[in-house]
Structures are given as structure tokens and as C-alpha cells.
């Protein structure tokens, strides 16, 4: 206990000095960056330009004259962006004297290439009638539903699509119920069931057992 108190007593002398030195170091690294964002060709202030410290969620925008001010740290990278201009990244030097730094950032107009637009003359009445008649109109939802509801499509979908949760649970409950119905006795064989033979013959005639390509 005495040894711990001795360490605590010694640390009480050194910790304030270390914290003060760390605070002074941090204070020296803070820089108030201010200036104006201007066009490179006409030296006109760019309003609403974005000034963002890269890698951090901090930033600001220039006013209607292009003037801005932001707090950064020495060694930070500041990115200037504005619609219609090429982005510029400025590195804040670690050797800046003092805690203030001014900058005049010039931005160059960015050339934007839009996709080509072909302007054609208005169609004549004969051309419009020809194109209107030959235009293929896609099927609407009603036509698609009618097409998918025919007997052949339903058989194909029923044989190819997996059962959903409701169908699987109902099938399991039916099997379990049938098993309980014949508990303690031999279940009947469908080979002697005339109804099962009738369903088999109907399925054979429909072609349910044919190999599907």
C-alpha cells in the first residue's frame, strides 16, 4: 500500500506536466485556414464551393464572394470542389509558422462531354402510320396472366417450381395424419386402389411421364 501511494505521489507531479505538453503540441498543430476560391481565367469568386478535410467529416462552403474559413490541422489535406470545375487538393504543410494560414485557391473550368444527341426531322403522316402499325407493343399484365394460367403452363410450373413453406408444411401434416390413421396396423397399398389407377391412367394420357427437354 505504501509503495502504491509513493507511485501515486510521484505521478501527481509528472502527469500535469505531460498533459500540459500534449495540449501545447496539439494547440500548435491547429491552423485557421482562410482565403478565397476564385476562377483561374477571370479571378471571380466562386460561391458555394465545398471545402472538405479529406478523411474527416468536417468541411465548409464559400460564401457568395468565394470567401471561406475552416479549422484544420498541420499535415491535413483539404479538397476544393465545385460544380463545373476540376477538384483541387491542397496539403497543409507541417512547417507553417503560427496558427493562421491564408490561401487564394484558383479553380479551372472542367470540360464535360455530354452524349451525342441526334435531331431528326418530323415524320410525315405516311411514315408515322407505317411505324405505328409495325411497332411491337409489349404484353400487359393481363395478357401475361392469361398466358401463364393455361393448363400446360400450370403443369410445367407445378412440376418445376419448389414448394413454398405453406405447401411443404401442409404436405408434412397430411403425411403425418395418414401415418397416425394407420398406427398399429398395415397401411393399404395403392396398387390395389382403383382410384389411384384412374389418376395414373389420366396422367399417362396427359403425358406427365414423358421426358421433358
User: Using one digit for the tens of pLDDT, what is the confidence trace for 1-19?
Assistant: 555 455 454 545 544 544 4
State pTM to two decimals: 0.45
Say what percent of the chain tops pLDDT 70: 85
CA distances, 10 to each of 1, 3, 23, 158, 212 (Å): 14, 11, 21, 83, 89
Q: pLDDT tens digit string along 39-86?
A: 999 999 999 999 999 988 889 999 999 999 999 998 899 999 999 999
Please, what is the average pLDDT of the chain? 81
CA angle (60 as vertex; 54, 63 as ends), nearest 5? 140
**What are the backbone angles phi and psi of residue 63, rounded to the nearest 5°?**
-80, -170
The C-alpha atoms of residue 8 and residue 13 are separated, in whole angstroms, by 9
Q: Is the dihedral of CA 191, 197, 201, 204 positive or negative?
A: negative
The domain spans of the chain are 2-107, 119-184
Q: Which three cell numbers stand for residue 208?
A: 406427365
Correct CATH for 2-107 of 2.60.40.1120, 2.60.40.10, 2.30.30.230, 1.10.10.60: 2.60.40.1120
The C-alpha atoms of residue 100 and residue 32 are separated, in whole angstroms, by 5
At residue 60, the 3 state secondary structure works out as: strand
Amino acid at each position: 500500500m505504501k509503495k502504491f501511494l509513493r507511485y501515486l505521489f510521484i505521478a501527481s507531479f509528472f502527469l500535469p506536466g505531460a498533459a500540459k505538453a500534449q495540449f501545447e503540441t496539439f494547440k500548435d498543430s491547429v491552423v485557421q485556414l482562410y482565403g478565397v476560391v476564385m476562377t483561374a481565367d477571370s479571378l471571380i469568386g466562386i460561391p458555394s464551393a465545398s471545402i472538405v478535410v479529406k478523411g474527416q467529416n468536417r468541411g465548409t462552403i464559400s460564401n457568395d464572394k468565394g470567401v471561406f474559413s475552416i479549422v484544420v490541422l498541420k499535415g491535413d489535406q483539404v479538397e476544393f470542389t465545385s460544380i463545373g470545375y476540376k477538384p483541387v487538393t491542397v496539403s497543409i504543410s507541417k512547417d507553417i509558422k503560427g496558427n493562421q494560414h491564408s490561401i487564394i485557391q484558383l479553380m479551372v473550368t472542367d470540360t464535360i462531354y455530354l452524349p451525342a444527341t441526334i435531331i431528326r426531322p418530323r415524320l410525315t403522316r405516311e411514315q408515322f402510320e407505317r411505324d405505328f402499325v409495325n411497332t411491337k407493343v409489349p404484353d400487359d399484365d393481363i395478357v401475361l396472366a392469361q398466358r401463364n394460367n393455361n393448363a400446360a403452363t400450370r403443369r410445367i410450373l407445378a412440376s418445376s417450381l419448389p414448394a413454398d413453406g405453406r405447401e411443404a408444411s401442409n404436405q408434412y401434416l397430411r403425411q403425418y395424419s395418414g401415418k397416425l390413421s394407420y398406427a398399429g396396423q398395415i397401411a393399404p397399398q395403392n396398387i390395389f386402389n382403383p382410384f389411384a389407377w384412374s389418376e395414373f391412367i389420366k396422367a399417362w394420357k396427359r403425358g406427365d411421364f414423358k421426358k421433358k427437354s
